């Protein structure tokens, strides 16, 4: 399995952060989930003096062999093109990142073609999961360890918070298959239209996922087995980011459905990882809410987004910035000579 050590979050730091919130001259808990997020970051960073100024979106790019089954509108060549656009700073994730003062690290963890992204390629895409395992167990483990390694590099670089992102034609098929197996739900309940399939193509996509699960018979109690048989290199890499965040004490933001599938894999591989995760938004894909519910995490944004690349995750950052501004700058009851509110 995956060997790493994670510490329990610092509850005392969280208690001090909660005390700070309760000292601010406003109704108790009136910033809701934003207050909870700041307290959670305090626990992760082991200090009530939370800091999220140095932030980075790590985008894992990879191809999926199942694309040959006709489950997408585009072919695999698009993955390499989009990865290169990210490196050039021209993709949606780059535009949003610039607006929220975040860096973007584009990683080629398994693109079929050549890219200018950071080369961490495990293989030139996964194999067709509809006829056999998408990758070997060893390849899946290497991809997870690659994500953990990137988080260690981010720690050395002084990064405060990481947003997970992905790019890979066909990866909604892989995430739906993972969700079906891990949550024990039929593929028709968890499969969405991806980049925009019509009813006929959606029905075909569901049948391909059903066949992949039947052919591979992944063990729902063995997350690495599920990942290897019906997953993708991008999902495996993001799972590593979540595990690495728990290891290094860096909060990691879940983006959409594919990122959430990786988060569930991470939690099943290394229990306790979810204590280091922040849910940004609930995806419009059917699996979005199901996966966050399975992790026991509540999203702060409901906007029916499904763009991917880490775009929704980045949109959490300005909300956290606003919360931190109140947390640090607002008047306190004591400072104003007022009696504190009490929880009744």
Could you tell me which residues are beta bridge partners of residue 104? Answer: 57
Residue 317 CA to residue 314 CA, distance in Å, equals: 6
Residue 339 CA to residue 45 CA, distance in Å, equals: 31
Q: What confidence score (pLDDT) does residue 249 get? A: 98
Please name each of the domains of the chain with its CATH number: 55-318 (3.40.50.10210)
How much is the average pLDDT of 18-34? 96
How much is the average pLDDT of 182-192? 95
In the structure, what pLDDT confidence band is assigned to residue 338 with cuts at 50, 70 and 90? confident
Residue 40 CA to residue 134 CA, distance in Å, equals: 36
Q: What confidence score (pLDDT) does residue 87 get? A: 98
Q: What confidence score (pLDDT) does residue 286 get? A: 81
Q: What confidence score (pLDDT) does residue 195 get? A: 74
How much is the average pLDDT of 42-64? 98
Residue 161 CA to residue 184 CA, distance in Å, equals: 32
- Hey, what are 282's tokens? 């609930």
Percent of the chain with pLDDT over 70: 100
Strands (DSSP E) found in the chain: 55-62, 102-110, 118-119, 161-167, 252-254, 277-279
Residue 158 CA to residue 148 CA, distance in Å, equals: 16
1: pLDDT strictly greater than 80: no
3-state SS class at 112: coil
User: What string of DSSP letters covers 124-193?
Assistant: SS---TTTS-SS-HHHHHHHHHHHHHHHHHHHHTT--EEEEEEE-TTHHHHHHHHHHHHHT--HHHH---
216: pLDDT strictly greater than 90: yes
> How does DSSP classify residue 341?
P
Q: What confidence score (pLDDT) does residue 197 get? A: 86
Other residues' Cβ atoms within 10 Å of the Cβ of residue 172:
29
Cα distance from N-terminal residue to C-terminal residue, the chain: 48
How much is the average pLDDT of 302-318? 95
The CA-based angle 46-50-51, given to 5 degrees, is 120
237-285 confidence digits (pLDDT tens): 999 999 999 999 999 999 999 999 999 999 999 999 999 999 999 998 8
pTM of the model: 0.96
Helix (H) or strand (E) segment spanning residue 29: none
Residue 119 CA to residue 110 CA, distance in Å, equals: 9
- Compute CA distances 335 → 21, 24, 25, 50, 326, whole Å: 14, 9, 9, 21, 15
Mean pLDDT of the chain: 96
Residues with a catalytic annotation lie at: 309
Q: What confidence score (pLDDT) does residue 116 get? A: 98
Do residues 285 and 256 touch, judged by C-beta distance below 8 A? Answer: yes
Q: Which one is predicted more confidently, 135 or 286?
A: 135
199: pLDDT strictly greater than 80: yes
Percent of the chain with pLDDT over 90: 90
Residue 235 CA to residue 109 CA, distance in Å, equals: 10
Of 250, 260, 263, residue with least CA distance to 282: 260
Q: What confidence score (pLDDT) does residue 145 get? A: 97
336: pLDDT strictly greater than 90: no
């Amino acid at each position: 399995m995956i060997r790493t050590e994670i510490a329990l979050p610092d509850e005392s730091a969280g208690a001090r952060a909660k005390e700070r919130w309760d000292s601010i001259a406003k109704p108790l808990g009136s910033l809701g989930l934003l207050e909870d997020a700041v307290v959670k970051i305090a626990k992760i960073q082991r200090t009530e003096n939370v800091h999220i100024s140095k932030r980075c979106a790590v985008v894992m790019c990879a191809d999926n062999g199942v694309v040959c089954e006709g489950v997408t509108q585009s072919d695999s060549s698009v993955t390499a093109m989009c990865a290169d656009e990210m490196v050039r700073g021209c993709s949606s994730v780059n535009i949003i990142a610039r607006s929220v003062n975040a860096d973007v690290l584009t990683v080629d963890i398994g693109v079929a073609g050549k890219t200018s992204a950071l080369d961490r390629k495990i293989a030139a895409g996964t194999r067709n999961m509809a006829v056999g395992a998408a990758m070997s167990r060893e390849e899946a483990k290497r991809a997870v360890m690659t994500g953990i390694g990137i988080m260690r590099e981010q720690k050395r670089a002084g990064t405060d918070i990481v947003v997970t992102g992905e790019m890979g034609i066909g990866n909604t098929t892989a995430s739906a298959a993972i969700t079906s197996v891990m949550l024990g739900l039929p593929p028709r309940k968890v499969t969405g239209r991806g980049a925009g399939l019509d009813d006929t193509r959606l029905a075909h996509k569901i049948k391909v996922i059903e066949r992949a699960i039947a052919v591979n018979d992944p063990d729902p109690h063995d997350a690495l087995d599920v990942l290897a048989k019906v997953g993708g290199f991008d999902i495996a890499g993001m799972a590593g980011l979540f595990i690495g965040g728990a290891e290094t004490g860096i909060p990691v933001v879940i983006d959409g459905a594919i990122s959430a599938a990786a988060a569930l894999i991470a939690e099943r591989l290394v229990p306790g990882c979810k204590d280091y995760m922040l849910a940004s938004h609930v995806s419009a894909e059917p699996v979005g809410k199901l996966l966050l519910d399975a992790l026991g995490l509540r999203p702060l944004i409901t906007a029916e987004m499904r763009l991917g690349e880490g775009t929704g995750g980045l949109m959490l950052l300005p909300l956290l910035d606003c919360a931190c501004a109140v947390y640090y700058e607002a008047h306190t009851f004591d400072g104003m000579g007022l009696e504190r509110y009490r929880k009744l």
